């Protein structure tokens, strides 16, 4: 199991800074959790719980888990096991957030949908009281056939897409929510940023093939384009899912200048880094990209 920290300063000093923070203008410690989820629900819960507890012990105020945290296995079983928002999976993570007094992002779980043969791929943000602060249902579904590269997947066969971008306002700052394949749609993150996002969450289960080629490039690009922190917890290793046999891993936290502050290597683990929202505001002030965007010229409408 791997543990990493910010490249900038010792964890002990960063924890002290995070405890003194008093809202969005300050700094705090965030953690990304990397998992190797399978179809074993109990094992998945224990793995996630232990790493979340460890992240909180190290002083993290915001902890994020990857896509498919609770289940990554056969698709028909994923649909059959889907739960409503008031089901046991969400309750477990709500209780954990409350007991640890942290903001906790359940990267995604299989939420029951209106159609019986599909579920939602849903991300849930809890505040330190265990209350649900925001719910985001994945908008862009992973339907690909990379042929010789060996990646064939049709997420839309079992997942009902969401309909709305979500930015959650919290005591720590404004969090733009997304999931995995959303990462390839730059305009989606522009919308999140225009709605106030200072931090972008990208819980993922990138395939080993596409992750090796594109994962870090896309994560850093979204951070640079939007001048925002990106928190990207990921799945790693082999899974008993015929469509997603292996995930890339490399969970990371990237700052608004595109610098990788912390990352997890191979295997389950976590990485921690300081989030300084004053740095977001300073970079946006010094290079006001959002105000320079010529949407009327390019698309026929103003961006603001």
User: Taking residues 145-165, what's their average pLDDT?
Assistant: 88
Question: Could you list the residue range(s) of the whole structural domain that residue 232 is in?
Answer: 2-137+150-292
At residue 14 the predicted structure's pLDDT band, cuts being 50, 70 and 90, is very low
Residue 178 lies in a domain: yes
pTM: 0.90
Structure tokens at 237: 């290793």
How sure is the predictor about 53, in pLDDT bands with cuts at 50, 70 and 90? very high
Q: What is the mean pLDDT of the chain?
A: 90
The neighbour count for residue 150, using CB atoms within 10 Å, is 10
Measure the CA–CA gap between 158 and 131, rounded to whole angstroms: 28
Interatomic CA distance for residues 187 and 302, integer angstroms: 14
29 belongs to a structural domain: yes
Annotated active-site residue in 138, 160, 250, 274? 138
- Whole-angstrom distance, CA of residue 29 vs CA of residue 62: 7
User: Does the annotation mark 138 as catalytic?
Assistant: yes
Residue 132 located in a structural domain: yes
Residues 6+ apart with CB under 8 A from 286: none
Widest CA span in the chain: 53
pLDDT tens digits for 276-286?
A: 999 999 999 99
Domains contained in the chain, number: 1
Whether 253 maps to a domain, the answer reads yes
| Residues composing the chain | 304
234 and 204 Cβ atoms separated by less than 8 Å = yes
Query: Is 199 inside any structural domain?
Result: yes
Residue 5 catalytic? no
- In angstroms, how far is the first alpha carbon of the chain from the final one? 45
> Does 303 fall in a domain?
no
pLDDT-based confidence at residue 146 (cuts at 50, 70, 90): confident
Catalytic residue selected from 67, 155, 160, 250: 67
Q: Is 155 known to be catalytic?
A: no
Residue 242 maps to which CATH number?
Answer: 3.60.110.10
pLDDT tens digits for range 235-259:
999 998 766 678 999 999 999 999 9
In a domain, 175, yes or no: yes
Could you report the per-residue pLDDT of 54-93, keeping only the tens digit for each? 999 999 999 999 999 999 999 999 999 999 999 999 999 9
Rounded to 5°, angle at Cα 51 from 50 and 53: 65
Helix axes 216-226, 186-194, angle to 10 degrees: 30
Are 188 and 140 a contacting pair, CB within 8 Å? yes
Residue 20 dihedral angles phi and psi, to the nearest 5°: -85, -10
Which candidate in 5, 111, 160, 180 is catalytic?
A: 180
Full 3-state SS string of 141-158: CCEEECHHHCCEEEHHHC
């Amino acid at each position: 199991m791997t543990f990493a920290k910010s490249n900038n300063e010792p964890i002990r000093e960063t924890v002290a800074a995070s405890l003194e923070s008093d809202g969005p203008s300050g700094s705090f410690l965030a953690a990304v959790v990397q998992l190797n989820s399978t179809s074993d629900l109990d094992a998945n819960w224990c793995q996630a719980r232990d790493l979340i507890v460890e992240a909180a012990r190290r002083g993290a105020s915001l902890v994020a888990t990857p896509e498919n945290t609770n289940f990554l296995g056969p698709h028909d079983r994923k649909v059959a096991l889907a739960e409503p928002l008031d089901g046991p999976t969400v309750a477990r993570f709500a209780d954990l957030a409350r007991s640890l007094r942290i903001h906790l992002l359940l990267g995604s779980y299989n939420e029951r949908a209106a159609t019986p043969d599909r579920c939602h791929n849903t991300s849930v943000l809890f505040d330190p009281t265990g209350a649900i602060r925001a719910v985001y249902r994945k908008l862009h579904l992973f339907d690909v056939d990379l042929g010789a590269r060996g990646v064939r997947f049709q997420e839309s066969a079992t997942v009902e897409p969401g309909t709305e971008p979500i930015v959650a306002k919290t005591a720590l700052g404004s969090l733009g929510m997304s999931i995995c394949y959303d990462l390839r749609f730059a305009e989606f993150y522009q919308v999140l940023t225009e709605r106030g996002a200072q931090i972008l969450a990208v819980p993922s289960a990138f395939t080993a093939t596409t992750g090796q080629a594109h994962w870090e490039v896309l994560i850093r690009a979204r951070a640079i384009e939007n001048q925002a922190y990106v928190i990207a917890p990921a799945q790693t290793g082999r899974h008993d899912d015929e469509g997603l046999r292996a995930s890339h891993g490399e969970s990371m936290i990237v700052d608004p200048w595109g610098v990788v502050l912390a990352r997890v290597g191979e295997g389950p683990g976590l990485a921690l880094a300081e989030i300084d929202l004053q740095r977001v505001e300073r970079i946006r002030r010094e290079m006001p990209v959002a105000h320079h965007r010529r949407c009327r010229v390019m698309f026929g409408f103003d961006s603001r």
